[in-house]
A and B are shown apart, each in its own frame.
Chain A
């Protein structure tokens, strides 16, 4: 069994021109909840969540054995990670199957990345 990251990205200031109506929001939440339940029932769900925007990010930088804390995202990119799931899957086909379901539910792109390793590193 492997683990995969399913990540979705959002452009800066890409908030829709008009906020979704309560009905649209409820339908959206229902679709997401259904997929998550489906993942849970199939032993695929490990962890997941949505993130606040990059304006809430803080970075700890390492430089010559010193660390400095600064405001702002790590990289000035056009798109930032907006949310993700960590899932169990037998292989990429299974992971892509979940990605398809999530993408359909949130109506956005999903990037699938295999984990090289998961869990704690033991020296």
Chain B
């Protein structure tokens, strides 16, 4: 798919052709057996189909151009290398900053994850026709503005990689907000693994992978019906293999000594899963990591999380002071929920009540609302 996109510079055509080729493969392979190089077979078949399609639509000049590209392709030494390279190119195309983050997520899931339009639509909470329209518009922009299929040059790489890493993280989060969307989480992890393999020198990519693995490790202990606080999770249900892998990556990142926001977030999660119980959590370490994260990305949400760590190391009163210095989260339910929790710890119950009520009013989903109402009645705290 990525190979074809590069050859033809036309994602719709490449996409259709690959789908055609897969359909042919499904018919032929059971009869003739699987060819020695299935990926190469798909590419060749899809390429022939794309040329057929261009002939049919009378796109002569494109055919000529495609023929030139084909001879380049034939000259490439191996089948595996270019395919990997092409995946990387396609990731950078799908996550190009000239596209909106929603477009970036949709294209990545559709073209790299291989999800159907309907699956992408459900994953990103929109209707199939709306998603189809979005994808057509995004592909049109790629073509019209000539967003290239290329690994960015060295000077642009940090910014462009940030965009790729954040798209994968957004895809994972969409699958984490609703645990039923296993497919989104799985795709994000698969793509992060591939990216880490293809760009072994990029520490933030490894940080992202570790972050996703450490989050995924705790999914079995989370309820599908309501948010499950870390302190309420049965640690016996955590996936030890994923934790071990994630923590090993975090250790490797620390050795690289080129910290970035995703690596620090992964390190924070690594500390969270380290203790045998919530009481064993090393909050001092977490506090220091949040200080580092805040220095790199001074956003209100990071400040909120930092305040929560401070409540564990320096107490609720200091944390509340920090919290009240944060601006821009007035509409964020968890800001008010955190405030309510801190106020209750300080025995300021009336104010806590007000904070939780505000949080309930702002809750984005029914699940969140129910959970916060349970906090309001004081059953969980």
Q: Which of A59-67, A72-80, A89-97 contacts B (4 or more CB under 8 A)?
A: A89-97
Chain A residues within an 8 Å CB radius of B145: 92, 95, 112-114
Whether the Cβ atoms of A91 and B144 lie closer than 8 Å is no
> A2 contacts the other chain (Cβ, under 8 Å)?
yes
The answer on a CB contact under 8 Å between A96 and B146 is no
Note all chain A residues with C-beta closer than 8 A to B147: 91-93
**Interface residue from B146, B152, B156 paired with A114 (Cβ < 8 Å):** B146
CB distance from B31 to the nearest CB of A (A): 43
Q: Could you tell me how many residues of chain A have their Cβ less than 8 Å away from some Cβ of chain B?
A: 11
Query: For window 1-51 of chain A, which residues contact chain B by CB distance below 8 Å?
Result: 2
Instruction: Closest A residue to B92 by CB, please name it.
Output: A93
Judged by a CB distance under 8 angstroms, whether A116 is at the interface is: yes
Nearest A-chain residue to B152, judged by Cβ: A93
Q: Is the C-beta of B256 less than 8 angstroms from some C-beta in chain A?
A: no
Cβ of B150 under 8 Å from chain A: yes
Residues of chain B having any CB pair with chain A under 8 Å? 96, 98, 144-148, 150, 152, 156
A94-123: CB near B (< 8 Å → 1, else 0) gives 011000000000000000111010000000
- Distance (whole angstroms) from the CB of B144 to the closest CB of chain A: 5
Question: Taking the nearest CB of chain B, how far is it from the CB of A52, in angstroms?
Answer: 29
Q: Do residues A91 and B146 form an inter-chain contact, with CB atoms below 8 A?
A: yes
CB-based contact B144/A93 at 8 Å: no
User: Cα distance A91–B144 when bound, in Å?
Assistant: 10
Which of B96, B98, B146, B156 is close to A2, meaning CB atoms less than 8 Å apart? Answer: B146
With A92-B98, A93-B156, A96-B98 as given contacts, are A116 and B144 in contact (CB-CB < 8 Å)? yes
Q: Across the interface, which residues of A come within 8 angstroms of B144, CB to CB?
A: 114, 116
Selected A-B contacts with CB under 8 Å, 9 pairs:
A90-B146, A90-B148, A91-B150, A92-B147, A92-B148, A93-B147, A93-B148, A93-B152, A114-B145
Most A Cβ at <10 Å: residue of B96, B145, B147: B145
A23 to B150, CA, bound (A): 42
A113 nearest CB neighbor, chain B only: B145
Give A92 to B152 CA distance when docked, in angstroms.
Answer: 12
Give the most central of B144, B146, B150: most A CB within 10 Å.
B146
Residue of A nearest to B160 (CB): A93
Alpha-carbon separation in the docked complex, A96 to B99 (Å): 13
| Distance between A109 CB and nearest chain B CB, rounded to angstroms | 14
Complex Cα gap A114–B145 (Å)? 5
- Smallest beta-carbon distance A86→chain B, Å: 15
Which chain B residue lies CB-closest to A100?
B156
A88 to chain B, nearest CB (A): 12
Q: How far is the CA of A114 from the CA of B143 in the complex (A)?
A: 10
Q: From B148, which residue of chain A is reached at the shortest CB distance?
A: A91
A112 to B147, CA, bound (A): 12
Whole-angstrom distance between the Cβ of B140 and the nearest chain A Cβ = 11
| A2 CA / B144 CA spacing, docked (Å) | 10
Query: Which A residues touch B148, using CB under 8 A?
Result: 90-93
State the CA gap A113–B98 with chains docked (Å). 11
Query: Contacts of B96 on A, CB cut-off 8 Å?
Result: 92
Bound-state CA distance A90–B96 (Å) is 16
CA distance A88 to B144 in the complex (A): 14
Top 8 A-B residue pairs of the complex, sorted by shortest distance between their CB atoms: A91-B148, A91-B146, A114-B145, A92-B145, A92-B147, A114-B144, A2-B146, A92-B146
Contacts of B146 in A (CB 8 A): 2, 90-92, 114
**A49 smallest CB distance to B (angstroms):** 23
